[in-house]
Amino acid sequence: MSSIVPSANPSVTARALERVRVVLVRTSHSGNIGAAARAMLTMGVDQLVLVAPSSFPDPEAVARATGAAWLLDAARIAVTLDEALSGCALTIGFSARPREFAGRVLSVRDAAFAAIAAAAHGDVALVFGTEMSGLSNAELARCAVIATIPTNPHYVSLNLAAAVQVAAYELRVAAGAGHVWTAPRFISATQDDIDSLHAHATRTLTAMKFLNPRMPKRLLPRLRRLFNRAGLEREEVNILRGILARIDEVLGQRRDKG
């Protein structure tokens, strides 16, 4: 694993991703171009370069982009791979198949860290080949690093857009944007709340004849440990005590009838 420490600063993340271009070589299905654009945009990568696409622009690409059509409008068309890679500080080609003359081979995760490090000095290109056969040996030879996505060894093929999504996600994490949303915090139960719950449970279980207070064995200590370990919120304690109170009420009604 790379020793690069990602930054949690959103502006640093954005600047790093701005230097990354996704290069799609000889894409045969225009829908995959649109799906790849959508995958890129969800992760903050918006430089798209197309090398000799079979059909572009194309309505199918726009339909599959789902909100990322502007990225398609800004896409650059290159006649050759050399043109697409011009000016890059690092070029990373993706291949699922082992190649005899491959140079430096990295997992997609390590390649993403290498890409973010190189983006501090210039543009970085992530290069993906055609859907049927991927990049040719000659095309891979134009890349300084070969990246591979670990997959099921019995079914290694990834859809082009899916491969772009995985790579773009790893880039975003490597650039320091690994934060997640958080659930709202509620008031935690105090020790007094827990003690009151335990005492209430003891009374109710005794009334139910589930607990013999003269021979409690390990039930009460285990209940206390359970309540303490659960990390209960105050509202959760109130709910549990409300349940116990209802049980107390039903037991009282039965005694009155009896």
Domains of the chain (ranges; CATH) run: 10-174 (3.40.1280.10), 191-257 (1.10.8.590)
Say what the pLDDT of residue 34 is. Answer: 97
Q: What is the mean pLDDT of the chain?
A: 90
What span, in angstroms and rounded, lies between the C-alpha atoms of 1 and 110? 6
Residue type, 246: R
pLDDT above 50 for 7: no
pLDDT above 70 for 6: no
> What is the Cα Rg of the chain in Å?
30
Say what the pLDDT of residue 217 is. Answer: 80
Closest by alpha carbon to 78, among 159, 34, 2, 23?
A: 23
Query: Residue 164 in 3-state DSSP?
Result: helix
Closest by alpha carbon to 179, among 44, 41, 68, 66?
A: 44
DSSP 185: P
